[in-house]
Structure 1
Amino acid sequence: MKMKKGYGRRSLTLMLLAWTMLVSAACSSNGAGGSEEPLAPPAKAAAATSSTPVKVVWWHSMSGELGQAVDKLIADFNGKQDGIEVEGVFQGTYDESLNKLKASLGSDSGPTMIQVYEIGSRFMMDTQATRPVQDFMDAEGYDISGLEPNIKNYYTFDGKLYSMPFNSSNPILYYNKDAFKAAGLDPENPPQTYEEVAEAAKKLTQGGQTGASFAIYGWFMEQFFANQGQELLNNGNGRSSAATASQLNSEAGVNTLEWWKEMLDDQSLLNLGRKTDDTKKAFAAGQIAMMLDSTASLRGIVSSAEGKFEVGTGFLPKPSDAGEGGVIIGGASLWLMNNKSEEESKAAWEFMKYLADPVTQAEWHINTGYFPVHTKAYEEDSVKENLKKYPQFQTAVDQLHQTVPNAATQGAVMGVFPEARQITETAIEEVLNGQSSPQEALDKAAKEITSKIETYNKTVK
């Protein structure tokens, strides 16, 4: 697929200038065949015109233990066949990787495929430099019924799957079961509503321990909207047509910040700032009894509390009178660039199918803590054993499967999402610091985000 006719360098330059305005705000910190063995790509078909393997360059943002898990997946794939050679290249954080991709647009120096965080989806489509994976799915009748519906839905636009889900997570409530017992609370029955969280936090605040702390993270606010069945943006969360306005200052946002601020005022909640690492450290040290964090952090959180207290998990809370909703998928997916040869693109597609295979996803889930994107991965013995070791993860699975599909839970999309998150976090800080009321802070933030959206939309047009 070539870049659409008429999409000149001037338009692309303007779009990239708009994107340069954005601020870092990554969501993570931070094929679906059901074969018993991972699918091995047909080497002869992939390398039909050459005796040398087809080279696929994959830019990713997985470092540390996650990077080691990625390297193993690549090595396993390369070892199973000789027609395709995948080279994984770590490009820094999601934001850093995307900046490098922007610099490569219009040249042949970019990757064959790239891992992009979920909030970069609108931008990736607007570049007109990508090729929807749906093209390959349709060409071979690839079965996507096994892909997790609520993960698949996020990356689907106008009925077409644009990128292949890879690493996915959502936020859950973590709590100290021992502290619950000491406070006379049922350790097997975590609070489910804003009201119940506030009540529990008061009882848990005792002896140098504070009831709760929530990191000032824009992702959490987005999730609170979805859990109430409320859309963050107009025009169907930016999915029925391009979003033109933020709805951050709606009742869903105001009620959430009022609840948050009231707990801070009655000293049952600590404000530890924007970093989720700080709330995790406080939780492990027993300084707070409840917090919010990603499901991808579960193993580390459980391990940090080992020998000190038992960790419990619960669904993301919502108001008692909230509508039907659920959580939005976080994490990232795999995008295919459209400036490579058909042979190279097909080879990348074979690798994407391998990564989405149930057996591969089972291994990825166990080694990283991310959700398997394929439902049949849960049938693997390794995943069953992992759930026995970390039963807290069942909460995350249940929360994902109980999420009601709608525009709110499908997730908002806008080209200025990273910057919008930063603006949201500033609004939360203003409220918690007593500088503005929830309505005032969110009115200001919504106006600013809307302005950024309008500027971005003009560059795209």
Structure 2
Amino acid sequence: MRWLPSLATAALAVLAPALAGAQTKIDFFFPVPVDGKLAREMTRLVKVYNDSQKDVSVTAVYTGSYDDTKLKAQAAASAGKPPAVVLMSANFVLDLKLSGDLISLEPMLKTDGTTRGQFLADFWPALHANATVDGELYAVPYQNSTPLLYYNKDHFKEAGLDPEKPPQTWAELVADAKKLTKGNGDSVERYGFGMPEGYDYMGWLMEALTMSNGGQYFNDEYGGEVYYDTPTMLGAAQFVEDLVFKHKVMQQGVVEAGGVSTNFLAGKTSMVLLSTGSLSFVRDNMKAAYGVAFVPRNVRNAVPIGGGSLVMFKGLNDEQKQAGWKFIKWLTSAETLAGWSRFTGYFAPRKSSYDLPEMKDFIAKNPDAKVALEQLPYAKPWFATYQTVAVRKALEDEMQAVLNGKKKAPQAIKDAQRNADALMKPYVDQTALKLP
């Protein structure tokens, strides 16, 4: 019987390479909601991660817009094939938690011997609210943004404006935009101002304008309440309407983000509101001198946080959870986030990313990358409610009607509030206290 151990040893020797080479395979869904070559760079990053270790094999799946990514991730999970990691719009986290799609990341923190507070300490404070729900961590910030005002310095000089003094208030924005707008008979050759008005972007910018008008866009502690029909929202909606129809400094109709950036690069629009995430695209493609500034205020400086966070879907086995968490930690290391920030224009969510020598050198050479960081003290949580997308679209549909000249701002915000309330009613009925 002395041959048995040797046979067992031989068998193990044969199996060892296979066991050593076993990998946990996971899917990673990611969107590309702004300009640039982000999809290729993300695919490259995933390859770098896969080549750096042998335990996890990540398949990168480009899923379109943030809204598309939410739908596709939910569909995959319903089909029994949940993606282990999803780069999800940060303001979807609450809704996805309420619908039972996400897993809490608290068990991973416990396994790592850390706490939520310790883990989030290195992330900018403005990002914490959209990463947690009911005191638990459900998301890790990855690519983050605020809206910024981009402006053409050459146009400013031509119009007799100081290129180093962009507008800081709504009144200054209107005055400058009027000087920058150029007509040719009945047509307009150049508009003074533009902003994306398609789905997702429009809601985000209306939040920025409402907050900079002194108001709140939603109840950030309760998922069933929005403040569409308010004086501060009316002021923001009227401001947008007036830019088109009264001041005639902005194009009528709905212009998508790609059209806004194209018009800015082509010199057909002098000032635009775009995400920080468009900064590298503008930097690489803008032929004229340009500047970047805070979103102009009416009552106060205020902007919403934007961008995406990494989440994990329910239905994963333990190995997939461990693999997904390992990948998330690599993606959100100070070094990886710094590189992604330099490539895209998103600001890095970790403060420590800016302590790295390569980041200090980059900021010194590209001071426009500092503007979003300087705006962070005025940043607030991103819109998040029950049925976030539909509730957001309730306002966007009405604002698009305003831009098309089919509705006036006062009626638009009333209709938006009514439609949003109807969408949130199931959650309100479930949570509101009903006295006898």
TM-score bracket, normalised by the shorter chain, equals 0.7 to 0.9
Equivalenced residues, count: 397
Q: Which residue does 1:32 correspond to in 2?
A: none
Cα distance in structure 2, aligned partners of 1:300 and 1:62: 13
49, 59, 62: which one pairs with 2:29?
Answer: 59
Q: Does 1:77 align with 2:52?
A: no
Structure 1 residues 380, 391: CA separation in 2 closer, same or farther (over 3 Å shift)?
Answer: same
Letter of the 1:55 partner, please give it.
K
Corresponding residue SS for 2:326: helix
> 1:68 Cα shift?
2.1
Contact 1:226 1:411 in 2 (8 A): no
Partner SS for 1:137: helix
Give the counterpart of 1:262 among 239, 242, 248: 242
**Mapped pair 1:160 → 2:131:** no
Q: Which amino acid aligns with 1:134?
A: E
1:280 has 2:261 as partner? yes
SS of 1:269's partner is: coil
- Following superposition, the deviation at residue 342 of structure 1 comes to 2.4
1:458 Cα deviation (Å)? 6.2
Higher relative contact order (CA 8 A, sep 6+): 1
Displacement of 1:89 after TM fit?
A: 2.5
1:210 partner SS: strand
Whole-angstrom distance in 2 between the partners of 1:377 and 1:71: 21
Partners in 1 of 2:348 and 2:215 — Cα distance?
27
The residue type paired with residue 427 of structure 1 is: E
Whichever residue aligns with residue 169 of structure 2, its letter is T
Q: Is the 8 Å Cα contact of residues 280 and 345 (structure 2) preserved in structure 1?
A: yes
Q: Secondary structure at the match of 1:268?
A: coil
- Show CA shifts across 1:20-59 (max 9, x none): xxxxxxxxxxxxxxxxxxxxxxxxxxxxxx6422333222
**Alignment partner for residue 382 of structure 1, among 331, 347, 358?**
358
**Cα 1:272/1:178, change in 2 over 3 Å:** farther
Deviation at 1:330, TM superposition (A): 1.5
1:205 and 2:184 aligned: no
Distance between the aligned counterparts of 2:82 and 2:410, measured in 1? Answer: 44
Q: 2:295 aligns with which of 295, 316, 320?
A: 316
| 3-state DSSP of counterpart to 2:304 | coil
Unaligned 5+ runs, structure 1: 1-49
CA–CA distance in 1 between the matches of 2:63 and 2:263?
31
**TM-score with structure 1 setting the length:** 0.79
CA distance in 2, matches of 1:172, 1:158: 31
Give the equivalent residue in structure 2 for 1:451.
422
Q: Is the 8 A contact 2:82 2:316 kept in 1?
A: no
Of 167, 184, 189, the residue aligned with 2:160 is 184
Give the match's secondary structure for 1:222. Answer: helix
Give the AA of the match of 2:292. Answer: T
What secondary structure does 2:100 align onto? coil
For 1:86, the equivalent position in structure 2 comes to 58
| Change in CA separation of 1:65 and 1:437 when aligned onto 2, cut-off 3 Å | closer
Question: Which residue is equivalent to 2:338?
Answer: 362
| TM-score under structure 2 length normalisation | 0.83
1:334 corresponds to? 310
RMSD: 2.5
Deviation at 1:151, TM superposition (A): 2.0
Cα distance in structure 2, aligned partners of 1:329 and 1:117:
11
| Structure 1 CA distance for aligned equivalents of residues 314 and 209 of structure 2 | 36
Structure 2 CA distance for aligned equivalents of residues 431 and 203 of structure 1: 24
Deviation (angstroms), 1:396? 1.6
The counterpart of 1:441, out of the listed 380, 405, 412, is 412
CA drift at 1:294: 0.9
**Other-structure match for 1:4:** none
- For 1:373 and 1:356, the matched residues in 2 are separated by 8
User: Once the two structures are superposed, what CA deviation does each residue of 1:369-391 show, in whole Å capped at 9, x if it has no partner?
Assistant: 22212111112233233334432
Greater CA drift, 351-360 or 140-149 = 140-149
Cα distance in structure 2, aligned partners of 1:430 and 1:167: 31
* Separation of aligned partners in 2, 1:336 and 1:435: 42
- Within-5 A mapping of 1:12-91: 51=20, 52-62=22-32, 65-91=37-63
Residue ranges of structure 2 left out of the alignment (5+ in a row) = 1-18, 184-188
Q: State the alpha-carbon separation in 2 of the partners of residues 305 and 436 from structure 1.
A: 35
Q: Distance in 2 between matches of 1:223 and 1:288?
A: 21
Q: Given the alignment, which residue of 211, 215, 226 partners 1:230?
A: 215
- 2:308 alignment partner, SS class: strand
Change (3 A) 1:181 1:91: closer
Task: Give secondary structure in 2 for the equivalent of 1:97.
Answer: helix
Residues 233-244 of structure 1 mapped to structure 2, 5 A cutoff: 233=218, 236-237=219-220, 239=221, 241-243=222-224
Choose 1 or 2 for highest CA Rg: 2
Asked if the contact 2:146/2:372 (under 8 Å) is kept, the reply is yes
Tell me the CA shift for residue 196 of structure 1. Answer: 1.3
The aligned residue for residue 170 of structure 2 is 194
Task: Label 1:432 to 1:59 Cα distance change in 2 as closer, same or farther (>3 A).
Answer: closer
Question: How far 1:304 moved relative to its partner?
Answer: 3.0
User: Quick one: distance in 1 between partners of 2:28 and 2:344?
Assistant: 19
Shift of 1:112: 1.7
Pick aligned residue for 2:205 from 220, 242, 261: 220
**Residue 130 (structure 1) aligned to one of 102, 124, 129:** 102
Equivalent pair of 1:431/1:437 in contact (CA under 8 Å):
yes
Deviation at 1:79, TM superposition (A): 2.5
Percent identity, aligned pairs only, is 25
Letter in 1 for 2:309: S
Q: 1 CA distance for matches of 2:302 and 2:236?
A: 15
Pair 1:205–1:459, CA change in 2 (3 A)? same
Q: Deviations over 1:309-368 (max 9, x none)?
A: 21111101121x34xx62222121111123222232122112111111111111111222
> What letter matches 1:145 in structure 2?
A
